[in-house]
Structure 1
Amino acid sequence: MQVAVGEKIVTSQNYLATHVGAKVLEDGGNAFDATIAVSAVLSVVLPHTSGLGGDGFLFALTPEGIIAFNSSGWSPKNLKKEKIGERDPNSIVVPGLVDAWNFIYNEYATMDLSRLLSPAIALSTNGFYLGKSLYKSILSSSGLGDTWKKTFGDKTFGSKLKLPRLGNALKIISRDPRDFYQGKLAEEIVIGLRSNGSTMEISDFSEFHGEKVKMIRTTYRDFNVYEFPPNSQGITTLEILKMSEIKELWKRPYTDYERVNDYIKILSIAYADRDNYVADPRFYQIPDLLDEIRLKNALKGKAKTNILSDGDTTFFAISDGENLVGFIQSLFYPFGSGIVVNDIVFNNRGFGFTTGHNQPEGRKRPMHTLSILYAEREGEELLIGCAGGDLRPQIHSQVFQYYTDYGMEIDEAVHSPRLIMTGDKIMVEKRLEIPFPKLDFMVPDVGIVQAIKRKGSYTIGVADPRSEGVALPV
């Protein structure tokens, strides 16, 4: 089911994860309980997208207000690389996902952690059957190293994969999540990472914690729109929307040549700002990129964007009738660094370091592609998130503009064809007819979106038909 309507909803990129989340709600758990359970299952069955070796960001709308938690990891304190390669062992940062679970569990959960992690433990230990997205990613990742090949290299679509050491790690985490960072498990992981070339030390793990953050806000027409602040690229989405509002793009048809031309220019400006300014705010004071006068002046000039690429990530959203939760987790590239320790695939998030304000430094968080869009107007709330890497701000903005500017319901907005700028080319899905010169018709890299809309007494959950996603009501 790609669209579900009800009071309580779970929508994710994988049918097993959605089922597990719905069962938690059915058994009396809240959206935070279900978030931990869904996140853990995704960490097992979609190991190319996310997992214990990666990061996580939480957004929640509660009766008390907005909660936002950034659990993106920092680099090892002894990192001294000036340039980090795509699958370089130095690209591994301390994974933040488990600390996000710890935060959610201690602050908002109502069920025992062992109950919430038991489905993921069972899937790891007893095995699960490979879906198509995992199989396709294995096929395209065959050049990764020995630890990856030993774990995934011989698997085919429909074959069974067991990850017993991951299951054991989850059992340890179910007793105390901080053991992932400062217990025997943490020591084993650090030894394994160092044996594969990382400079990671146990103190890099033990001293790491995610942090509560304040979402950044702007307006788009009659909506208040929120995104994660830097080190997240969420501010890039808000720049795109503000410049679209300044140019009044909604007054023209979506496929109008002039509108597309203006939108491409807006993307170039926003991404140039991202590349120049978005970095870890603990190392650099970021200017006000949303100042309207500044944006109007920027629209008069030109901007050149670096090459942008897709990435493997997974987003899910949950409503329990009271709380609305969005959660996004990632390794960055498919299978991250390609380094596997204890059946845990480790990220390559450090490849997000560039130069200038975002240059590699010890205990620094790289510019991060993860973000979640939340929008509200009187009596109406929207959560939009996606897999998409660098492309996420344009995917978020397009789905939101389909909804706000062109009268689509949220499921239509998610399902509708998208346009993607990668810096050196423009890609569209073949079913999107745009009279634009030099279009490069490449279908796959347009993101995988999950979304939730809440209005009055009902909620709509949407799973992108471009994936194995499922939305279920409870």
Structure 2
Amino acid sequence: MVFGVIGREGVSSQIYTASLAGLRVLENGGNAFDAAIAVSSVLSIMLPYTGGIGGDGFLLAKTGNGEIIAYNGSGRSSRIFPVDKFILGRPERGPLTITVPGLVDLWDWVWENYGSKDPLEIFKYAISLAENGFYVSEQLNNAIHSSYSSLQQYSMWKSTFGAYRTGDIARLPRYARVLKIISRRGFREFYEGKLAEEIIEKLRNQGVPITYEDFSTHKGEPVNPLKTNYKGYKLFELPPNTQGITTLELLKLIEYSGINTKPYDSIERIIEFFNLAIAAYDDRDKYVADPSYYRFDPYKILSRKYLVDRIKEFASNRNNELTSMDTTFFITSDRYGNIVGFIQSIFYPFGSGIVVEDIPFQNRAIGFTPEKNHPNSPAPRKRPKHTLSILLAENDEETYIIGCAGGDLRPQIHSIVFTNIVDYNMSLAEAIHAPRYIVTKYHGRQILRAAIERSLGISLNNENIKIIDALSRSVGNVQAIKAHKKGYYNLAADLRGGGIALAHN
């Protein structure tokens, strides 16, 4: 039996220290938005391989007055982005993979519109950890060890992170300095001040084709979330350039196909789920791109006619491998009725491998489809297709926010957790910890690789579908909240990633 926590305000994140920092902000009179910035900054220091100010972030939240708000904090490629060189080389790491980081801009927007505490007070936990040191966790140790062979060529990464092992005390003094500067001079200093000039010069010295104008003109934007419904719930997800639409399409395919009426441990249901997921990913890879460069009507592929036809007939020659990359997602909630879902990432563990001022910079440019004349083709000043997304669902009695670390797998994970709640009557914690089943490689409709957690109790003779250990980190790391109409919250954190949910009255 697994349980979440209950309270009038709370935090759920991947590590205890970050959850505690957010809870302390709440205890000291801050709101859920203040707490979100505090949690985000602590995660940036203690889990630098997952996200930070060298990367992007997105927010999906519901305010105490019932407003659903969303923000796209993803960055664009440089105005001098070498498209032909990128397509020819298809790099996964290194200077050509860096896009302008959007997380600090997201902090700025959150604080300007909803913050109530001084930034220096919000950042004090992260600054103290970076300056005075923190113990290297097993998660950080594993990320360093698994990334070492591909990142040791980057001298700043190697000197900053490469020698740390579990139990060592890590210090990131230059990161602390950056946080102090932006908390005193303003968040925009990261993009258009002396600090920005320093960072850009050091990026360029490591071969990154980027300009001061790329940073100074960067702005994220509030966006209208995509909407649909499922069994009396209104569903919301982030729009393109994110894959949020893929979650909504998969849930509607589940609903219209009727597989959610079959037993939970039915292998037939799971195989059908894999096929529906493949159809949704096929649409994602056709249509999801920067809407400034390519527009399509997302509600066309969420229409009943389109989806019913998709279930009946789906053919594709696409060969795809889905990966679970490092990301961190968390939730904050307060006694004023605000609930915030917040996700941040630098994509691969430690992103591009380029480190400036102790800050790893993301490799989000590899989200582009490396070919010309595709909606998601690389181009200067363009956002790549983004794997980050967040699911919000509500009816008259309750609101859920569900998010995870999971990369390409995120639409499957969101759909599984939500249908566990709605179709299989699980509690929030049970829905998160229930056995998962994930397709990770396919060609057309043929499943080339999939995984089912052992605790589901299924045995099968199929070399393409592996039975894996229960609570495996390979199938995502979820944080979720259920907000009750009565004014209290249930929060739960996934044991697969060592998550911690904290709440109080």
Cα distance between partner residues in 1 of 2:296 and 2:352: 29
1:141 partner SS? helix
Question: 1:122 corresponds to which residue?
Answer: 128
Q: How big is the shift at 1:81?
A: 2.4
Q: Which amino acid aligns with 1:19?
A: L
For residues 242-294 of structure 1, give each alpha carbon's deviation from its aligned partner in whole angstroms, at most 9, with x where no partner exists: 00000111210122122112111101100010111100000001232212211
> What pairs up with 1:183-198 in 2 under 5 angstroms?
183-198=193-208
> What pairs up with 1:73-472 in 2 under 5 angstroms?
73-82=75-84, 83=87, 84-143=90-149, 144=151, 145-175=154-184, 176-287=186-297, 288-301=300-313, 302-303=315-316, 304=318, 306-321=320-335, 322-354=337-369, 355=371, 356-423=374-441, 424-436=448-460, 437-438=462-463, 439-442=465-468, 443-457=472-486, 458-472=488-502
Q: How big is the shift at 1:221?
A: 1.4
Cα distance between partner residues in 1 of 2:328 and 2:359: 17
Q: How big is the shift at 1:8?
A: 0.6
Q: 5+ unaligned residues in a row in structure 2: which ranges?
A: 442-447
For residues 186-205 of structure 1, give each alpha carbon's deviation from its aligned partner in whole angstroms, at most 9, with x where no partner exists: 11111111122211101000
Q: Which amino acid aligns with 1:237?
A: T
Q: How big is the shift at 1:3?
A: 2.0
For residues 31-52 of structure 1, give each alpha carbon's deviation from its aligned partner in whole angstroms, at most 9, with x where no partner exists: 0110111110011000010001
Is the 2:79–2:214 contact (alpha carbons within 8 Å) kept by the matching residues of 1?
A: yes
Q: How big is the shift at 1:222?
A: 1.6
Question: 2:445 corresponds to which residue?
Answer: none
1:27 and 2:28 are equivalent in the alignment: yes
For residues 379-409 of structure 1, give each alpha carbon's deviation from its aligned partner in whole angstroms, at most 9, with x where no partner exists: 1100000000011000000011111110100
The 1:249/1:353 distance shift into structure 2, 3 A limit, reads same
Cα distance between partner residues in 1 of 2:245 and 2:236: 9
Cα distance between partner residues in 1 of 2:73 and 2:60: 11
Is the 2:4–2:428 contact (alpha carbons within 8 Å) kept by the matching residues of 1?
A: no
Question: 2:71 corresponds to which residue?
Answer: 69
Q: Which amino acid aligns with 1:68?
A: A
Q: How big is the shift at 1:441?
A: 3.1
Q: How big is the shift at 1:378?
A: 1.2
The 1:343/1:382 distance shift into structure 2, 3 A limit, reads same
For residues 353-390 of structure 1, give each alpha carbon's deviation from its aligned partner in whole angstroms, at most 9, with x where no partner exists: 01411011001000000000000111110000000001
Q: Which amino acid aligns with 2:72?
A: N
Q: Which amino acid aligns with 2:367?
A: G
Q: Which amino acid aligns with 1:337?
A: S
Q: Which amino acid aligns with 2:41?
A: A
Is the 2:270–2:437 contact (alpha carbons within 8 Å) kept by the matching residues of 1?
A: no
Cα distance between partner residues in 1 of 2:366 and 2:171: 29
Is the 1:272–1:305 contact (alpha carbons within 8 Å) kept by the matching residues of 2?
A: no
Q: How big is the shift at 1:64?
A: 4.7
Cα distance between partner residues in 1 of 2:458 and 2:377: 38
For residues 18-68 of structure 1, give each alpha carbon's deviation from its aligned partner in whole angstroms, at most 9, with x where no partner exists: 000000101111001101111100110000100010001011101151111
Cα distance between partner residues in 1 of 2:440 and 2:412: 10
Is the 2:240–2:289 contact (alpha carbons within 8 Å) kept by the matching residues of 1?
A: yes
Is the 1:256–1:435 contact (alpha carbons within 8 Å) kept by the matching residues of 2?
A: no
Q: How big is the shift at 1:161?
A: 0.3
For residues 99-157 of structure 1, give each alpha carbon's deviation from its aligned partner in whole angstroms, at most 9, with x where no partner exists: 00000111111110110011111111111001111111111011202111111111010
Q: How big is the shift at 1:320?
A: 0.2
Q: How big is the shift at 1:460?
A: 0.5
- Count of paired positions: 474
Q: Which amino acid aligns with 1:75?
A: S
Identify which range, 450-459 or 378-387, moves more after superposition: 450-459
Q: How big is the shift at 1:434?
A: 3.0
2:111 partner SS? helix
Q: Which amino acid aligns with 1:113?
A: P
Identify which range, 79-88 or 146-155, moves more after superposition: 79-88
Cα distance between partner residues in 1 of 2:3 and 2:110: 27
Q: How big is the shift at 1:327?
A: 0.4
2:236 partner SS? strand
Is the 2:3–2:430 contact (alpha carbons within 8 Å) kept by the matching residues of 1?
A: no
Normalising by structure 1, report the TM-score: 0.98
Is the 2:473–2:497 contact (alpha carbons within 8 Å) kept by the matching residues of 1?
A: no
Cα distance between partner residues in 2 of 1:146 and 1:441: 40
Cα distance between partner residues in 2 of 1:106 and 1:448: 30
Is the 1:269–1:305 contact (alpha carbons within 8 Å) kept by the matching residues of 2?
A: no
Cα distance between partner residues in 2 of 1:429 and 1:333: 24
2:346 partner SS? strand
